[in-house]
Amino acid sequence: MKNLFPILTVLAAIVGIWWLAVAPMNIRPALDIVERGGAVVMPEGSVVRRDVNVFKLMLDNQTHVAVGYDLKRPRLPTPKQVGEEFWKTTGAMVAKGRAWSKRSLIFHAWVTLQSTLWGFFLGTTVGIVGAVAIVYSRVMDRSVMPWAIISQTVPIVALAPMIIVVSNQVGIEGRGVPKAIISAYLCFFPVLVSMVKGLRSPSEQQLDLLKTYSASGVQSFLKLRLPASVPYLFTALKIGIAAALVGTIVGELPTGAISGLGARILIGDQFGTPLAIWSALICAAILAGILVTAIDIMQRVTLRKMGFVS
Amino acid sequence: MNDENMTNNTVISAKNLSLTFQTNDGPVHALKDINLEINKGDFVSFIGPSGCGKTTFLRCMADLEQPTAGEITVNGVSAREAREARAYGYVFQHAGLYPWRTIGGNIRLPLEIMGMDRAAQDAAVKDVLDLVHLEGFENKFPWQLSGGMQQRASIARALAFHADILLMDEPFGALDEIVRDHLNEQLLDLWARTNKTIGFVTHSIPEAVYLSTKIVVMSPRPGRITDVIESPLPKERPLDIRDSPEFIEIAHRVRDGLRAGHGDD
């Protein structure tokens, strides 16, 4: 709870900057509208104004700046507009008993969440198994690690359509599986890197100690390397779940999906409804916050139980 | 002396033992032509400046380092076989307790690996905690204990599976003088009660003289033994024995041995 105050302070600052930015962002459409309504605007004509700096426009048309805060299709919606739209597509839908309607963000968030969790599960598994292989096999260390790094330099947006096409070719129905794969593609990397580090974290002395007991390889893995890597794992899981969410949303963008937060963002862009884009973004941010917090709580409980002092 | 006579009482025997590390700057002679017999119930200290091979020698006994020439036997078999038979307990410079295990859990670690059943584990843990005066700390985590207590717990861990040999690599090196005196006293007490054979690496002259029945003075480049001193001190040693003329005389001889080995720098 002691974190609440700084978090709220930063949030207030962001909302403040956002609110201030609305004026210059929306001044051009605002002036177009009032000009069409017959008011006097300096300078006259939309085309002429295109060459004039937005701050000069604001200075010359001070009385019309406020119009930018109440546009139907703003370039940058105000926090209030986004808040209203967000409520309309979440809380209000729930109140009407239509939480699972196609127009409800809760439905779309649920679609995205499912793929995110599958991708997270898949990516984490691949990351952990890969790390074990890398730590125990020199060949894997030499061959897999460079490819894992290269894999992350390929833009996921370029890769996503290919994954969709391939999974269609092999007869996988629906978008769930390819989305999870795209999500796992982003998620496995931090887990892999951290787990390699964690499994290698025991000191020479700790390994020598097990040697003096003539412990087997399995014993030293289960009793030393694995528990020693747990703090590293949790740090990676927090990055991994956020990456999995980003992966899922990206997976929904260029693939013609019609449900999920990514699809909402794409549709909002195509139909010129910035409010829909923004409320989907806010929804994604809240979802990410919930997921990371959940893992943070698991981390605290586990590490405290294990006797690690944090 | 012949071999048959020695083996009866000899626990550790090194013959012409050498160990050369190959480094980028050429070979480093960590140990060269080491010959030593350690008898049952001996408390042997290895003392010398850093680089003299005292830790390397101890690690050879424990089969943590492979000699490049010569022979070492522990309990009459090779160091490797002795390690696989869990012939010794090893205490490292740092306690190295697992932070995710309680003190009891740490002591239980070797017992779990050796497949002892749970009831026997509990009994052994209780016994060794008594032995190192850590009764009641079984369920504490390592971070809740002081450095000296952690080191005592690590000694308990080495004692838990009843090996006859205890190998200790500067176990009290990181502790302050007062704690160190205290632990030295307790270690002598423990040695008298358990009748173990102890190999003890140190760079403190008073510690070596106070604890040992046999002091092995070593010198570097190449690592070798320059003097072996059989201590005339009685087995019963109060702390103030360190002011006695005998004690001071042995300390002198150790210091002379160290100085002789240092002649070249």
pTM: 0.82
The confidence score (pLDDT) of residue B8 equals: 65
In this predicted structure, what is the pLDDT of residue A229?
95
Question: What separation in angstroms does the CA of B73 have from each of B4, B38, B55, B63, B77?
Answer: 14, 10, 17, 10, 5
pLDDT at B1: 41
Q: Provide the residue type at A221 as one letter.
A: F
Chain A residue closest in CA terms to B65: A208
Q: Does the beta-carbon distance from B141 to A211 stay under 8 Å?
A: no
Check CB contact of A211 with chain B, cutoff 8 Å: yes
Residue contacts between A and B (CB atoms, under 8 Å): 57
ipTM score of complex: 0.87
- With an 8 Å Cβ cutoff, are B64 and A211 in contact? yes
* B111-165 residue pLDDT tens: 999 999 999 999 999 989 988 889 899 999 999 999 889 999 999 999 898 889 9
Q: Measured between alpha carbons, how far is B210 from B8 in angstroms, rounded to an integer?
A: 27
pLDDT for B263 equals 54
pLDDT given at position A37:
87
Confidence of residue B4 (pLDDT cuts 50, 70, 90): very low
Domains of chain A (ranges; CATH) run 4-76 (no CATH), 105-306 (1.10.3720.10)
Mean pLDDT of chain B: 88
Paired tokens of A134:
């890398």
Q: Do B83 and A205 touch (CB under 8 A)?
A: no
B140 and chain A: CB distance < 8 Å anywhere?
no
Q: Give residue B5's pLDDT.
A: 46
In A200-221, which positions are buried (b, 16+ CB within 10 angstroms) versus exposed (e)? Answer: eebeeebebbbebbebeeebbb
Whether the pLDDT of residue B264 is over 60: the answer is no
- Mean pLDDT per 10-residue section of chain A, whose length is 310 residues: 85 94 91 87 84 88 87 89 89 81 86 93 95 92 88 86 85 82 92 95 93 92 94 95 92 78 87 87 93 94 83
Please tell me which of the candidates A206, A209, A308 has its beta carbon nearest to residue B90.
A209
Asked whether the beta carbons of residue B113 and residue A308 sit closer than 8 angstroms, the reply is no
Kindly list the residues from chain A whose CB atom is less than 8 angstroms away from the CB atom of residue B114.
213
Contacts of B111 (CB under 8 A, 6+ apart): B120, B121, B124, B125, B160, B161
pLDDT at B2: 44
| A301 Cβ under 8 Å from any chain B Cβ | no
Strand pairing report for B69-74 and B77-78: antiparallel
**Do A307 and B99 make contact, defined as CB atoms within 8 angstroms?**
yes
Interchain CB contact of A305 with B (< 8 Å)? no
Per-residue pLDDT tens over the stretch B41-63: 999 999 998 888 899 999 999 99
**pLDDT per position as a tens digit, B159-171:** 898 889 999 999 9
Give the model's pLDDT for residue A18.
94
DSSP β-ladder status, B26-39 and B197-202: unpaired
